[in-house]
Amino acid sequence: MDILTIYYGHPGQVTDILLHDSALMLAAYNLMVNLTPYMLDFANDNSNSATLITSELVLQIQAFINQIVSASSPQSPLATDLNFMINKLNLNTLVGLNAVQAWAAIKASY
């Protein structure tokens, strides 16, 4: 199972969770704001970007995923898949990489 399978496998569940938890919706918004420079670099295939992933961003991503897992049913397929992803991919290994390098590392881990 790869990260895209997980992402596309639970389209409504994450939305339902966010719509019923305003604090988590705000956390999602803040995460997306912080991810925007990386997403733009990735979309433009900017492999020379100096915008590097920080440990603070990794902590924010981990906290958000943990909140989604907590808000879903503990044994739900969503929680199971997110826990699998977190256990498979050590997000701390992405610190210091730009978005293109990080995506390559993520793909290589699956």
Confidence of residue 105 (pLDDT cuts 50, 70, 90): very high
Task: Identify the DSSP state of 110.
Answer: -
Tokens 């992933």 correspond to 53
What pTM was computed for the model?
0.88
Q: Which of 20-29, 41-50, 53-62 comes out lowest in average pLDDT?
A: 41-50
What span, in angstroms and rounded, lies between the C-alpha atoms of 18 and 7? 15
The H or E element containing residue 10 is: none
Half-sphere exposure of 15 (CA within 13 A, CB side): 6
pLDDT at 11 over 80: no
